[in-house]
Structure 1
Amino acid sequence: MATLRFFAGAAEAAQTETATLNAGTIGELRTELGERYGNEFVRVLGLCSLLVNGARATDDAVALSPTDAIDVLPPFAGG
């Protein structure tokens, strides 16, 4: 199972900072997260960047493996 870490608003919307999921692609991951955490989380997820093992994944076709670490990062503001 891939390990997910949620940060800031994503953690707030999911009501957790970590999770594990089985998903074959980023697109499947997005679907499973929406089913698990609901519409508000889907809204937040649409604003987030997904990092797979530290590399940004922008394509829903990106393949995932059970050993991947996925960070869900909402936009950050600051200076």
Structure 2
Amino acid sequence: MVDIHYFAAARAARGQSTETVDAGANGLVTLADLVETLGREHTEHRAAGLTLAEVFGRCTFLADGRRAEPSAPLANVERIDIMPPFAGG
């Protein structure tokens, strides 16, 4: 299980601040798999006119507190933080 924490525009585009995903049971091997699945499945909210998938394109991702690239494996990861730019940065 991976706890997903959404911040700022990602939280607005998701419509909630956290959720838990069973990455292994859903065949999600990498961060890219997770991001693609979340963006495809959650289209009901927007942030400044952007879908969650569009917001993801501007985000930094942390896996257990460390910056993670899309190819990062999800095995043994407990927490993903999804952080869009803050204050226009």
Shorter-chain TM band: 0.7 to 0.9
Q: What do you get for the CA RMSD once the two structures are aligned?
A: 1.7
2:2 corresponding residue in structure 1: 2
1:16 partnered with 2:27: no
SS in structure 2 opposite 1:16? coil
Q: Which protein has greater RCO, CA pairs closer than 8 Å, 6+ apart?
A: 1
The CA deviation at 1:65 is: 2.4
Q: Residues 26 and 51 from structure 1, CA distance in 2 versus in 1: closer, same or farther, beyond 3 angstroms?
A: same
SS in structure 2 opposite 1:42? helix
2:59 corresponding residue in structure 1: 48
Task: Check conservation: 1:2, 1:65, Cα contact below 8 A.
Answer: no
Higher share in helix: 1
CA distance in 2, matches of 1:3, 1:66: 12
CA distance in 2, matches of 1:69, 1:10: 16
SS in structure 2 opposite 1:43? helix
CA distance in 2, matches of 1:34, 1:65: 20
* Identity between Structure 1 and Structure 2 (%): 34
SS in structure 1 opposite 2:5? strand
2:87 corresponding residue in structure 1: 77
Alignment length (residue pairs):
77
